[in-house]
A and B are shown apart, each in its own frame.
Chain A
Amino acid sequence: MNHKNALTPWLFIGPAVLLLIAFSLLPILVSLLISFTDMNLIGLRNWDVISFVGFENFIALFQDSLFHRSIVNTLVYVSIGVPLVIVCSLSVALLLNYMTNKLFTFFRVLFYVPSITNIVAIAVVWGFLYNMDVGLFNFILNSLGLGKVPWLEHPFIAKISLIILAVWKGIGINMLIYLAALQSIPRSYYEAADMDGANKFQKLRYITIPSLSYATFFVTVTTLIGWLQFFEEPFVMTGGGPLDGTMSMALFIYESGFQYNDFGYAAAASLILFVFIIVATLIQFTFNKSKEN
């Protein structure tokens, strides 16, 4: 388009670009730099005591058993949580797409609400529900004649408990994306299938699911990136315990950085998490490409 002044576009994008450079792009470089140093709280006040340590942080991380635990736990979160979120949000979207009336609109709101409510509040509420002695869940199990479950007291069960919470929270936004995608499938596809005598499951298998492939791709990538950064749930509910059973990579980074003030070490760990995220995203993109071809 013709506009006389070459400066005009920069007036519009300037503020956003400047802030992004300062708080997103520049930090990546700084992060890379400090990951090769022994930057800590003392170094924050006096730059002279910071020294370049080469790959020492990374070598130490490879030998740190807590960091190993955090990687394994994060992989458990991702490999159970991501498929669960996708299956649940697709199922809910398919059910909600069945009819349009006031009742179904109400259900749509109901399933969406957990995803916009505050994660700390949610973690606090679920912490109460999961309480071993006075929690609602154990009371219900007890009434059914079943024993108590140590929801947050057992290293593996605690991981599952956090996953259940996060799936509950994760359904809403993905369900909306699926609903939007479902509503954009042309009706004529189903009419043609009806004429060919296709049954419900054939229509689901050969029309609905393939038409949702872009939505599924989008949902998978964003969910995967989100779950690799699993943080608030273990931070508020378990603090990484019991026995480091819920320690995630993101929580490990937060603790090394802001509780032990070991900024260099934490920055190195954060770059490893970044590599995980890039690799996971790239795998998704290649997988999606090969499916399209």
Chain B
Amino acid sequence: MKNRFEKFFVTSVLVVGGFLVSIPFIWMILSSFKSEREARTMPPTFWPQEFTFEHYINLFQNLNFGTYFMNTMIIVLFAMLGLLFNTMAGYGFAKFKFKGREVVFLCVLATMMIPAQVSMIPVYLLLNQMGLTNTMAGIILPGLIAAFNIFLIRQFMTTIPNDLIESARIDGAKEFRIFFQIIIPLSKPIIAVQAILTFVGAWNSFLWPLIVANDQALYTLSVGLALLQGQHSSSFALQMAGATVMVLPVLFLFLFVQRYIVEGFNTTGIK
């Protein structure tokens, strides 16, 4: 039985908890509009006394954030190509019987266990051997495939009826036409979720670009922000502006699509 006291209690706990959780974001955004002096005054002001955009202008005019932004977008774009490969592989494992399928699939799953730190040194050495260190290709290639995505997509695709594919084949459709015109539209819920998570992952990519890129022209936003933090360690308002540039796009994206993510978790079978 839900009584009014209980409802009031649960809601208040969530309001207090929600406020505590959002303090870092509130403080980040407010501080990014303060002057450097004001961001450091004690006691701190809550609302910026003089609203200023100077830090944002500074980031894009003097600190190369425009370049970092473009690089990040390139990585996001290619991550979507990776998602296409993952989706194809998920379909392949779900809907074809072939020799060695189980073994290959097990190998795919096994790669989920490998920590980033174990593969990063040999992958760096391999890319170095291929002459791809300090190139965009070197940043992009190792991150294209994620075994976890393949696994979830495969789980979803097994629920698509075989008869549907079979009758398309009888009608003479080619395999890739079946994939793009029947399978992908049917898999919208899972692909939507994966696309969002892939975007977020690529947008946030940090460790690998940090290792492979020596040239500032190849830095991503996160690497640029870490650099900013090292070089302008006392410019808090500037750092907060940089952090806001990184956080706000994802925050807005998520506000619009959060419904699909929650639904997606219900369809992906992690229950």
- Which chain A residues have a beta carbon within 8 Å of chain B's beta carbons? 1-3, 6, 8-13, 15-17, 19-20, 22-28, 30-31, 34, 39, 44, 92, 95-96, 98-99, 103-105, 107-114, 116-122, 124-129, 131, 133-134, 136, 139, 143, 168, 171, 176-177, 179-181, 183-184, 214-215, 218, 225, 228-229, 231-232, 235-236, 249-250, 253-254, 257-258, 263, 266-267, 270-271, 273-274, 277-278, 281
Which residues B215-258 have CB closer than 8 A to chain A? 221-223, 225-226, 229, 236, 239-240, 242-244, 246-247, 250-251, 254-255, 258
Given A1-B96, A2-B166, A13-B89: A24 touches B119 (CB 8 Å cut-off): yes
B270 to A99, Cβ gap below 8 A?
Answer: no
What residue of chain A has the Cβ atom nearest to residue B226's Cβ?
A120
Q: Write the nearest CB–CB distance from A104 to chain B, whole angstroms.
A: 7
Q: Write the nearest CB–CB distance from A113 to chain B, whole angstroms.
A: 6
Residue of A3, A124, A180 most packed against chain B (CB within 10 A)? A124
Q: Write the nearest CB–CB distance from B183 to chain A, whole angstroms.
A: 10
A121 to B222, Cβ gap below 8 A?
Answer: yes
- A16 contacts which of B22, B150, B254, B266 (Cβ < 8 Å)? B150
B14 to A95, Cβ gap below 8 A?
Answer: yes
Chain A residues within an 8 Å CB radius of B118 = 27-28, 31, 267, 270-271, 273-274
Chain A residues within an 8 Å CB radius of B244 = 121
Chain A residues within an 8 Å CB radius of B162 = 1
- Which chain B residues have a beta carbon within 8 Å of chain A's beta carbons? 2, 7, 10-11, 13-14, 17-18, 21-25, 27-28, 31, 39-44, 85-86, 88-89, 91-93, 95-98, 101, 104, 107-108, 110-111, 113-126, 128, 141-142, 144-145, 147, 150, 162, 165-166, 169, 175-176, 179, 200, 203-204, 206-207, 211, 221-223, 225-226, 229, 236, 239-240, 242-244, 246-247, 250-251, 254-255, 258, 261-262, 265-266, 270-271
What residue of chain B has the Cβ atom nearest to residue A228's Cβ?
B115
Chain B residues within an 8 Å CB radius of A105 = 258
Q: Write the nearest CB–CB distance from B99 to chain A, whole angstroms.
A: 8
B179 to A12, Cβ gap below 8 A?
Answer: yes
Q: Write the nearest CB–CB distance from A46 to chain B, whole angstroms.
A: 13
Given A23-B145, A267-B122: A273 touches B96 (CB 8 Å cut-off): no
Chain A residues within an 8 Å CB radius of B211 = 258
Further contacts, 13 of them, CB under 8 A, given A1-B95, A16-B89, A277-B113: A3-B169, A16-B86, A109-B258, A120-B223, A121-B243, A125-B240, A128-B28, A134-B41, A134-B236, A215-B271, A232-B207, A254-B117, A263-B121
B242 to A28, Cβ gap below 8 A?
Answer: no
B28 to A125, Cβ gap below 8 A?
Answer: yes
B240 to A128, Cβ gap below 8 A?
Answer: yes
A22 to B258, Cβ gap below 8 A?
Answer: no
B165 to A119, Cβ gap below 8 A?
Answer: no
Assembled-state Cα–Cα distance A277/B239 (Å): 35
Assembled-state Cα–Cα distance A31/B142 (Å): 16
A12 to B122, Cβ gap below 8 A?
Answer: no
A176 to B247, Cβ gap below 8 A?
Answer: no
Chain B residues within an 8 Å CB radius of A30 = 122, 125-126
* 24 A-B interface contacts by CB (under 8 A): A15-B89, A16-B108, A19-B85, A20-B145, A30-B125, A44-B125, A107-B14, A116-B204, A118-B225, A120-B222, A120-B226, A121-B222, A125-B240, A128-B27, A128-B31, A168-B21, A168-B24, A176-B262, A180-B270, A253-B117, A254-B120, A270-B115, A273-B117, A274-B118
Assembled-state Cα–Cα distance A229/B115 (Å): 7
Q: Write the nearest CB–CB distance from A254 to chain B, whole angstroms.
A: 7
Q: Write the nearest CB–CB distance from B43 to chain A, whole angstroms.
A: 6
Given A1-B165, A107-B14, A124-B239: A23 touches B142 (CB 8 Å cut-off): yes
Chain B residues within an 8 Å CB radius of A124 = 225-226, 229, 239-240, 242-243
Assembled-state Cα–Cα distance A24/B109 (Å): 11
What residue of chain B has the Cβ atom nearest to residue A179's Cβ?
B262
What residue of chain B has the Cβ atom nearest to residue A32's Cβ?
B122
Assembled-state Cα–Cα distance A225/B147 (Å): 16
Assembled-state Cα–Cα distance A114/B225 (Å): 18
Given A16-B88, A111-B21, A177-B270: A117 touches B247 (CB 8 Å cut-off): yes
A31 to B18, Cβ gap below 8 A?
Answer: no
Q: Write the nearest CB–CB distance from A179 to chain B, whole angstroms.
A: 7
Q: Write the nearest CB–CB distance from A59 to chain B, whole angstroms.
A: 19
Chain B residues within an 8 Å CB radius of A24 = 111, 114, 119, 145, 147
A274 to B115, Cβ gap below 8 A?
Answer: yes
B141 to A19, Cβ gap below 8 A?
Answer: yes
B92 to A133, Cβ gap below 8 A?
Answer: no
B271 to A214, Cβ gap below 8 A?
Answer: yes
What residue of chain A has the Cβ atom nearest to residue B116's Cβ?
A229
- A273 contacts which of B115, B225, B229 (Cβ < 8 Å)? B115
Assembled-state Cα–Cα distance A247/B92 (Å): 43
A270 to B117, Cβ gap below 8 A?
Answer: yes
